[in-house]
Amino acid sequence: AQSVTQLGSHVSVSEGALVLLRCNYSSSVPPYLFWYVQYPNQGLQLLLKYTSAATLVKGINGFEAEFKKSETSFHLTKPSAHMSDAAEYFCAVTVSGAQKLVFGQGTRLTINP
């Protein structure tokens, strides 16, 4: 069975600082990995996804993530945080033959002015 662990339920950074949100996955077969963002009282919006084409994946709003098989990680980064990045971020995994996305518990990102 697949699982996702997001380290840090709450991350706070200053505007302009590096954003790093951590995600580790568990899967016995090659995974497909996703990062979604959820703004207050809204659904989930796809930021980016990994499907084995390239280990460094670029997404929307300046975010990117790197797939590291040896570390079973898929951390999300952004070089310079904006106030508009404040939201809840979810990492999710699925595998071939599975119907469902398995989500982590989420990381709430706060941006300090």
Nearer to another protein, 17 or 64 (CB): 64
87 Cβ contact list (under 8 Å, min separation 6): 37, 38, 39, 40, 108, 109
86's tokens: 């404040």
Torsion of CA 93, 96, 98, 99, to 10 degrees: 80
* 67, 81, 104, 109: residue in contact with another protein (rule CB under 8 A): 104
* 43, 56, 84, 113: residue in contact with another protein (rule CB under 8 A): 43
Q: Does 100 bind another protein (CB under 8 A)?
A: yes
Q: Does 113 bind another protein (CB under 8 A)?
A: no
Q: Does 32 bind another protein (CB under 8 A)?
A: yes
47-52-53 Cα angle (round to 5): 85
Contact residues toward another protein (CB under 8 A) are 4, 32, 34, 36, 41-46, 49, 51, 90, 92, 94, 96-106
